[in-house]
Amino acid sequence: MSQPTPPNSSPRLSPRQQRLQAWKDHHRASAHDSLLRLWRAPIQSLLTASVIAIALMLPAALWVALNNIQQLGEGWDASPKISVYLKPQMDTTAIDTLKTQLQNRPGIKHVEYVSPEQALASLNTMAGFGETLKGLNRNPLPPTLILTPIFNAVDVAQIQTITDDIAKQPIVDQVDLDMAWVRRLNQWLELGKQCAWGLAGLLSFGLLIVVGNTIRLGIENRRDEILIIKLVGGTNGFIRRPFLYAGAWYGLFGGVIASIALAISFLCLRSATAELAAAYQTDFILSGLGVLGSLVLIALSGLIGLCGAALAVGRHLGDVEPG
């Protein structure tokens, strides 16, 4: 009988080390074997991976689009203005005191006083207002302080704090924050992101079913092998392993396809948006998922594939029992 030359493993390992080595060997063999099986059925594997990719691209694209809109909002140059309407017939010293006080406040860049007369004059110049104002017997406009905060438009909470503070001043009648649109934009973005998450959750569930069904078919195809393995003493873990790897591979490949497709789509859109941005004189650049984002997408996809396989194996392996 020919004696085989010992490969990498030495026969002098303790039984415990030997079992650990065998366990690692089987993991490697399962990963390799399941990959080879995917490779041998390229059309079917590609179809499954593509279905996974499409399901991943929808929420990922939505997420990236929303991030871009948010970035656009952050880049908005004009800070919001806060109009502080004072009580009428206030004497100028009180107004000056408040103006100085506000100017020294951190967070405020600039304070401008607009007297009722100035406001009336500027209103008169606007088309259509002149005739209306002539019908009034007195100037109805209050003295006003226009504040420019240093925060930009998305720091809604900080601007709100300043506004609430100023409203408590005794000579202040009303504070008007011209930033409802900022708040609304943020609310829309928040809603959009929640939708993206919801969509991602729903489609992940779909992915579990897609991967689970593919693995179920794999179990059916390898029924004889599973029966023999069970008869010669294979544990459920041993039988499960190659199927779990197969699920993870499907997920990873789907994630890679989705990342590449998204990168190409955003690259194509980039020149178009750059032209548009130039027309609006902004330096906005469309950003894609990025390397880190793509890696996260691929990892999540692999995890979903693994979970789908685990569900299918848990449900269907018990059906394959010798006897």
Partner 1 sequence: MIEFQQVSKRYSSGFEALNGVNFHIQPREMVFLTGHSGAGKSTLMKLIMLMERPTSGQVIMAGQNLSKVRPSQIPYHRRHIGVVFQNHQLLFDRSVFHNVALPMQIAGFSEWDIGRRVRAALDKVGLLDKEKQNPINLSGGEQQRVGIARAVVNKPALLLADEPTGNLDPQLATEIMELFRQFASVGVTIMIASHDIALIRRMGLRVLGLEQGHLVYDGAL
Question: Which residues would be at the binding site for partner 1 (CB under 8 A)?
Answer: 1-4, 6-11, 13, 18-19, 21-23, 25-26, 29, 224-225, 227-236, 238, 321-323
Of residues 4 and 106, the one with the C-beta less far from partner 1: 4
Taking alpha carbons only, the member of 253, 205, 214, 309 closest to residue 50 is: 253
Of residues 6 and 170, the one with the C-beta less far from partner 1: 6
Instruction: Give me the least distance between CB of 37 and partner 1, in Å please.
Output: 10
Instruction: Give me the least distance between CB of 247 and partner 1, in Å please.
Output: 20
Instruction: Give me the least distance between CB of 200 and partner 1, in Å please.
Output: 37
Of residues 6 and 106, the one with the C-beta less far from partner 1: 6
Instruction: Give me the least distance between CB of 22 and partner 1, in Å please.
Output: 4
By DSSP bridging, strand 82-86 and strand 144-149 are antiparallel
What gap in Å lies between CA 163 and CA 183, rounded to an integer? 14
Of residues 29 and 261, the one with the C-beta less far from partner 1: 29
CB 254 within 8 A of CB 56: yes
Taking alpha carbons only, the member of 296, 257, 267 closest to residue 57 is: 257
Of residues 230 and 316, the one with the C-beta less far from partner 1: 230
End-to-end Cα, the chain, rounded Å? 37
What sign results for the dihedral spanned by CA atoms 243, 262, 198, 48? negative
CA distances from 103 to 20, 64, 98, 210, 292 (A): 72, 40, 8, 62, 44
DSSP bridge pairs for 113 = 145
Of residues 13 and 191, the one with the C-beta less far from partner 1: 13
Instruction: Give me the least distance between CB of 242 and partner 1, in Å please.
Output: 12
Instruction: Give me the least distance between CB of 30 and partner 1, in Å please.
Output: 11
Identify the burial level of 154 via C-beta atoms within 10 angstroms of its C-beta, where 0-12 means exposed, 13-18 middle and 19 or more buried. Answer: buried
